[in-house]
Structure 1
Amino acid sequence: MKFYTLSDNVDTLMGMRLAGIEGEVIHTADEVLASLRRVMADPSIGIVLMTEKLINTCPNIIYRYKLTQKRPLIVEVPDRHGEGDVSQTIEKYVSEAIGIKL
């Protein structure tokens, strides 16, 4: 299974490519949804790395994918432009998944 990166900036994508991970740069919610549909249909992709900014373009849809799809695993990666706290994002995701505020 492969990793795949969906990034909102070239810097993050270049860093991932240096690690041998392919991907693409996208910016709008429509591009995010189209790319996710394509990636979800590819059986060779096991993990999708997405930047914080892209996840924030359509968080409800992405969290629905995370909660209902077995494959691929969608992982939020911080980038140099990110402002959020990844631990808060994980806390929110777990709280939504199990229905208990941590």
Structure 2
Amino acid sequence: MKFFVISDNKDTQNGMRLTGAEGVVVHEAHEVEEALHRAFSDPEIGIVLMTQKLIHLCPELVFDLKLNRKRPLIVEIPDRHATSKISDTISRYIQEAVGIKI
């Protein structure tokens, strides 16, 4: 199983590359969609790491993929400009998936 990084900056991508994770740097919503479709079509990719900024560019697509696809797992990672707490994101995801506020 491989990791795939979809980042909005080269620093994050280069840091993840040091761990062996390949990926792309994108800035527009259509580029995010293309990168996600690329990741979801590769059977070797098990986890997609995405920066918060990119998830906010196309949240409907990301949450649809999280809820309706078993593989790969999409994990939101904070970028260097972290604007929200990851725990808030996880809580929102659970609330949307299960319908329970925690």
TM-score, normalised with respect to structure 2: 0.97
Q: In the alignment, what sits opposite 2:12?
A: 12
User: Alignment identity in percent?
Assistant: 57
| CA RMSD across the alignment | 0.7
Q: Counterpart in 2 of 1:48?
A: 48
CA separation in 2, counterparts of 1:51 and 1:61? 15
Runs of 4+ in 1 over 6 A off after TM superposition: none
Which residue number corresponds to residue 67 of structure 2?
A: 67
SS class of match (1:56): helix
Q: Which amino acid aligns with 1:99?
A: G
Whole-angstrom CA distance in 2 between matches of 1:19 and 1:39: 18
Q: Provide the C-alpha distance between the structure 1 equivalents of 2:14 and 2:71, rounded to a whole number of angstroms.
A: 25
Structure 2 residue aligned with 1:28: 28
Aligned-residue offset at 1:70: 0.5
Specify the code of the residue in structure 2 equivalent to 1:42: D
Measured in 2, the distance between the counterparts of 1:4 and 1:74 equals 10
One-letter amino acid matched to 1:86: I
Cα distance in 2 between the residues matched to 1:67 and 1:97: 7
Q: What is the CA–CA distance in structure 1 between the aligned matches of 2:74 and 2:38, rounded to whole Å?
A: 14
TM-score normalized with structure 1 length: 0.97
Q: C-alpha separation between the residues in 2 aligned to 1:20 and 1:37?
A: 21
For structure 1, list consecutive stretches of 5 or more residues without a partner in the other structure. none
1:70 is paired with a residue of what secondary structure? coil
In structure 1, the residue matched to 2:78 is: 78
Secondary structure (helix, strand or coil) at the match of 2:57 reads coil
In the alignment, the residues of structure 2 paired with residue 77 and residue 54 of structure 1 have an alpha-carbon distance, to the nearest angstrom, of: 10
Q: Post-superposition shift, 1:93?
A: 0.1
Aligned equivalents of 2:31 and 2:3: distance in 1?
19
